[in-house]
Structure 1
Amino acid sequence: MSSPNFVSPFHIVSYFGTSPCAEAISCLVQAVDMFCDIGRISMAARYLKEIAELYESDANIEKSMEFYHKAADFFQNEDVTTSANQCNQKVAEFAAQLEQYQTSIDIYEEIARQSLKSNLLKYGVKGHLLNAGICQLCKGDVVAITNALERYQEMDPTFSGTREYKLLVDIAAAIDEEDVAKFTDVVKEFDSMTPLDSWKTTLLLRVKEKLKAKELEEDDLT
C-alpha cells in the first residue's frame, strides 16, 4: 500500500514564533517525514494527530482541522478505522463550529455508513446520525432535514425507533411551525434523559436563535 502524500508545513515556526508549541510541532513534523520515508505510516498518523491536538490546544481551529484530516487519511490508509473516525469526527466538530455545516454532515453520514458494517461500531450510528441531523437543522431547511431523516431510516432501519430520531423530527416540526416554546420543551425533555454535550448545545442554541428571529419577524408583520 502506497504512503499518503505529506507536505511539511514549514511556516509553522514562523506562525508560532519560538513558543514551546512551535518547537514541539516542528519536531513532530520532522518525525512524520521520517516515518513516511521508512513506510511507518501508522506512526506518522499518530504524530499528525498529536500536531492537530497541539494546534487545538492553541485554539488554531483551521490548522487543527487540517492535521486531523491528514491523520484520518493516514489512519484510513492503514485500515485503522476507529482512529480515522475519531480524527474525522474532530474535523466535523470544528467545521460545524465554523458554520461549515455541509462538511460536517458529509463526514458524520460517511462515518455512520462505515459503522453499520461493523458489529463493534454499530452502537454509535444513532449518535453520528444525530450529529448530522443537528447540522442539517443549523442550515435551516426543513425540507432538507425531512429528506435527510428519510435517508437515515433507509441507511439504518432501527434509527426511526430511537430518541435521537424523535428529537430531530420534533425539532423539525417546531421549526416548521415557528414555535420556540415547542422547540425548548423538546430539547429540554431529551436533555433530561440524555444530557447534551456542549457541542450539541451550542448548535441547538444557534437553531433556537434563528427560530426566535423568525418568530419576531412574524410578530412585526402582524
Structure 2
Amino acid sequence: MSDNVGKAEDFKKQAEKKLKGFGFFGNKYEDAAELFEKAANNFKLAKCWNDAVYCYEQLAECQLKSDSKHDAATAFVEASKCAAKLQPEKATNLLQKAVSLYTDMGRLNMAARQLKEIAEVNEKQGLKSEAITFYEQAADLFETEGSTSEATKCKLKIAEFSGEMGSYKRAVEIYEEAAKAAVENNLLKFSARGYLLNAGICYICYCSADDLDIKIAKYKDIDLQFEGSREAMLLDNVLEAFQETSVEKFATALADFDRVIRLDAWKTKILLEAKRRLESMAAGAEDEEEDLQ
C-alpha cells in the first residue's frame, strides 16, 4: 500500500514538473497526461481517493489541451468514481463535465448513461427530486438515440419517486405508458399487470371511487390478461372498499393479496396513503350521520 502511495507521489511530481516546463506541439500535455494517469491509478490502489480525484482531473485537463475530448470525458468519469467514495456532490459535478463533453461530440448514448449515473448518485443520497431531474434528462437522450428500454428504466424510476413524493398523477401517467408499451412486446407483456397495479394504487390516492371504476375497466382493455389476475382483483376489492368507505374491507383486500403476492415496500407506502384517505372519508361519513341524527 505504501509502495503505491510512493509511486503515485513520484508520478504526480513528474507530471506537474512536465506542465511547468516547455513543450512543443502539445507534447508536454501528452507526457503529463501519461504520468497523471499512472499517479491516479496508484492512488486508487492505495485508496487515497482525494489524491486520485485530483490526478484524474489533471489528466482530463491535459487531454483537453491535446484536443482529446473522449479521453478527457473518460478521465472525468474515473475521477467521479473516486470522488463518490467521499464526496458525492463532487462526483456529480465531475460526471456533468463528462456529459458536456459527450454531448459536444454527439455521443448522446454515453451522455445519457452518465446522466443516469448522476441520478443514481443522487438516489443513494436520498435526493429524490434531484434524481428525478437527471433521470428525465437521461430518458430524453436515450429516446433520442432509440434506446427505448433504457429510457423506460429511467421513467419507471421517475414514477417510483413521484409516487413516494405524492405526485400521484405523474406516476399514473408513466406506469400506464409503460403498461401500453409492455403489452406490445412478447418479452415484457407479463410486466404490464404490475405497472397497471402501480398506476391504480397511485390513482386511488387522489381520485373518486367512480373514476377508479372507469380506470380499472380501461386497464382491462389495455391488457387483456389483466382481468381475473391477482392485481386486478386487488384493485376491484380496493374499489369496493372505497365505494363502501370500509377501512376493514380495504385491510382485508391487502391481506388477501399479500398472502399470495408479497407487497413490496413501495406499494405498502402508497397503499398506506390510500388507507389514510379512506379513513378520513369514513370519519367524514360518520360525522355526517351524527349531524343528521
Contact 1:140-1:207 within 8 A present in 2 as well? no
- Say which SS state the counterpart of residue 227 (structure 2) adopts: helix
Alpha-carbon distance in structure 1 between the residues aligned to 2:213 and 2:283? 25
Q: Which amino acid aligns with 2:250?
A: F
Is 2:208 aligned against 1:145? no
CA–CA distance in structure 1, aligned partners of residues 106 and 157 of structure 2: 26
**AA at the equivalent of 1:107:** I
1:115: how far off? 1.3
**Structure 1 residue 24: Cα displacement:** 0.6
Once residues 149 and 215 of structure 1 are traced to their aligned partners in structure 2, the CA distance between those partners, rounded to angstroms, is 22
Confirm whether residue 89 of structure 1 aligns to residue 156 of structure 2.
Answer: yes
Residue 200 of structure 1 pairs with residue 271 of structure 2? no
- Verify: 1:156 aligned to 2:200, yes or no: no
Cα deviation, residue 176, structure 1: 0.8
Mean Cα deviation higher: 185-194 or 109-118: 109-118
- The 5 A counterparts of 1:77-116 are 77-116=144-183
Which region of structure 1 is more displaced relative to structure 2, 148-157 or 128-137?
148-157
How far is 1:217 from its partner? 2.5
Alpha-carbon distance, 1:152 to partner: 1.1
Consecutive unaligned residues of structure 2, counting only runs of 5 or more, are: 1-85
Within 1, Cα distance between the matches of 2:224 and 2:153? Answer: 24
Q: Secondary structure at the match of 1:161?
A: coil
Match of 1:5 in 2: none
- Greater relative contact order (Cα 8 A, min sep 6): structure 1 or 2? 1
1:55 to 2:131 alignment: no
Does the residue aligned with 2:205 lie in a helix, a strand or coil? helix
Q: Residues 42-64 of structure 1: CA distance to partner in whole angstroms, max 9, x if unpaired?
A: 11111101111111122221111
TM-fit CA distance, 1:94: 1.0
Q: Is 1:169 the counterpart of 2:236 in the alignment?
A: yes
Q: Deviation digits for residues 14-34 of structure 1, max 9, x if unmatched? A: xxxxx7112111110011111
CA radius of gyration, larger in: 2
Query: What is the identity percentage for the equivalent residue pairs of Structure 1 and Structure 2?
Result: 37
Distance between the aligned counterparts of 2:222 and 2:278, measured in 1?
29
Amino acid at match of 1:111: A
SS in 2 for 1:159: coil
Shift of 1:218: 2.5
Deviation at 1:140, TM superposition (A): 3.7
Q: Which residue of 2 aligns with 1:10?
A: none
Residue type of the partner of 1:146?
A: D
Deviations 1:60-89 (A, max 9, x none): 211111111111111122222221111101
| Correspondence for 2:31 | none
- From 248, 265, 277, the equivalent of 1:210 is 277
Give the secondary-structure state (helix, strand or coil) at the position aligned to 1:138: coil
> Where in structure 2 are the equivalents of 1:16-27 lying within 5 Å?
20-27=87-94
Counterpart of 1:123?
Answer: 190
What one-letter code is carried by the residue in structure 1 that aligns with 2:104?
Answer: D
Equivalent pairs, count: 204
Counterpart residue identity of residue 191, structure 2: G
Unaligned runs of 5+ in 1: 1-18
TM-score (normalised: structure 1): 0.88
TM-score, structure 2 normalization: 0.67
Distance 1:121 1:41 in 2: 26
Computed over aligned residues only, the root mean square deviation of the Cα atoms, in angstroms, reads 1.3
| Distance in 2 between residues matched to 1:215 and 1:117, nearest whole Å | 40
Partners of 1:21 and 1:51 lie apart in 2 by: 9
Where do 4+ consecutive residues of structure 1 move more than 6 Å? none
Q: Quote how far apart the aligned CAs of 1:216 are.
A: 2.2
What whole-Å deviation, never above 9, does each CA across 1:155-187 have from its counterpart, x for those lacking one?
A: 111111211011001101101101111110110
Residue 214 (structure 1) shift:
2.0
